[in-house]
Structure 1
Amino acid sequence: MSATSVRPVPRRLRWAVADGVTLTGRAVAHWRRQPGQFVVGLLFPVLMVLMFGYLFGGAMSVPGGGDYREFLLPGMFAMTMLFGIESTYAAVATDAARGVTDRFRSLPMASSAVLAGRATADLLHSAAGLAVMLACGVAVGWQWRSGVPAALGAVGLLLLLRFALIWVGIHLALVLRRPESVVMLQILVWPLGFTSNAFVSPDTMPGWLAAVAAWNPLSATVAACRHLFANPGAGGDTFPAQHAVALAVAWPLLLIAVFVPLAVRRYRRLGR
């Protein structure tokens, strides 16, 4: 029996946390050494806001009235969380393809630290990206019309969605282990984003597509954020619209419950 397996539980937990912090620092160090990629990742959503808010915004109408940019920004916040799955996938798949993950598995470290470190690092990156998006929103005239606690609740729901999507990206990367397969992921991510209520209300869509958009996990977070920020487009007659906050919690928790065990099991089976 190895020394690691007989460590007391508190000690194993302490070492697992320490290993996770070390690997989180590894990802942060990569960003410092390659700031261009980090900055581009932060600014791409800003470009999306400017494009949709100013180029297409004049042709858009908000059901019930209101400024389209205020309707758009909560959707763009959620889209930023969704697009982050591509960077998670690329980082994990690159490490797997180059043998870095196999070297980590050969070291005397907690097996959970590699995945937890990646998840923590990507959540920090997403928090920075969300801060940039919030600042961009304020710059183009968006504002929340509720109190600070409600606004912080909306930010928490966005980061919860991102945390769930991180584990989806980790699992897919460990399954495919090919960085170039990110194109396949984009084919899935973009339709998921555009068949939601991020850019237009489901009320403007055909009946079957409106149902798909209403029950889209991304739509739940967008609708909840519009409600908590008190922006145009909040509410509605459908069940998802009336229970947006509850669904914005339930969908990410369901994804976490499914994909965390899948990712951990896949990681442990690498090389078999």
Structure 2
Amino acid sequence: MTAVTTARTAAPAAHARPVADTLTMLRRNLLRAVRYPGLTMFLVLGPLVMLLLFVYVFGGAFGAGVAPGVAPGAEGRAAYLDYITPTLLVLTVVGGATSVATSAAMDAAAGIMARFRTMAISPGSVLSGQVIGFVVQALAALVLVLAAAVAMGYRPDTDALGGLALLGMLVLLGLALNWLAVAMGLNARSVETASNTPMILLLLPFLGSGFVPVETMPAGVRWFAEHQPFTPIIETVRGLLAGAPLDGTPTAPAVAWCVVIGIAGYVWSRALYRRERR
């Protein structure tokens, strides 16, 4: 009886290392990113290609639409660079969520998730390590994308407080989307399906204020654009980069959307992790 009691009390102690286990899983995720850099390169190359395309091909014309009184051509490109850079920073974070869904599906399909469930590690650390790992990768990609925009002529006008608020907003967005993407990856029947499911997250910024002002849209599309999550998020990032005060940006709706998405993704992914994969 004593041995049984000791075993039962020792089992929780073996699982009571969430921080250490999360750091171990984070290290595993970052090492895999180094060994297989394809997913990480996607985080940078996608937004960079869009930056070059939309500024140098469409920017001369689109700039006149986002900044009234601006002439098409070089002046329009400069105006559109200011408008689209915050959008591409958000899309960089979204791209990281797409990658984390693929990574989670790969682990599940290979039986790694099932093996982790049998080990004496904190259950939440397995998923948390992936989520935090891809947030770190996304932050590195954000630096490169922002540096490319600055090299093209973009000049953010934020101060230290605004910069911290911007960093907090992007980290919160990354955590929220990554938890949702982990759930999508675990719920997918194959790795290929997992890579396609989060595409809806990449489409939503196009149906918001990411590329054109919502005022230019038809009534029905405008209503959707104004009430979907990415419009307040993009406008908050845009305002913070432009030096607007926090009360001058839709920060509260943006944070609320991130919290709702993050909680939903966390609950869903934890439930899927506990379930035996069919």
Q: Distance in 2 between matches of 1:139 and 1:261?
A: 41
Which runs of 5 or more residues in structure 2 are unaligned? 1-6, 71-78
Q: Distance in 1 between matches of 2:253 and 2:207?
A: 17
Instruction: Give 1:254's aligned residue.
Output: 260
Q: Is the 8 A contact 1:79 1:198 kept in 2?
A: no
SS in 1 for 2:211: coil
Which runs of 5 or more residues in structure 1 are unaligned? 236-240
1:106-255 equivalence runs, <5 A = 106-182=118-194, 184-230=196-242, 244-255=250-261
Q: Distance in 2 between matches of 1:166 and 1:36?
A: 18
25, 35, 40: which one aligns with 1:38:
40
Question: CA 1:139–1:105 in structure 2 vs 1: closer, same or farther (change >3 Å)?
Answer: same
CA RMSD of aligned residues (A): 2.3
Q: Distance in 2 between matches of 1:63 and 1:203?
A: 12
TM-score by length of 1: 0.88
Q: Distance in 2 between matches of 1:251 and 1:171?
A: 17
Instruction: Give 2:57's aligned residue.
Output: 55
Q: Distance in 2 between matches of 1:187 and 1:138?
A: 28
When Rg is computed on C-alpha atoms for both structures, the one with the higher figure is 2
Q: Distance in 2 between matches of 1:259 and 1:186?
A: 12
Which structure has the higher relative contact order (CA within 8 Å, separation 6+)? 1
Q: Is the 8 A contact 2:162 2:240 kept in 1?
A: yes
TM-score by length of 2: 0.86
The count of residues paired between Structure 1 and Structure 2 equals: 261
- Which AA in structure 2 matches 1:109? I
| Percentage of matched positions with identical amino acids | 29
1:39 deviation in Å? 2.8
Q: Is the 8 A contact 2:156 2:242 kept in 1?
A: yes
1:40 deviation in Å? 3.8
Q: Distance in 1 between matches of 2:198 and 2:123?
A: 29
260, 264, 271: which one aligns with 1:265:
271
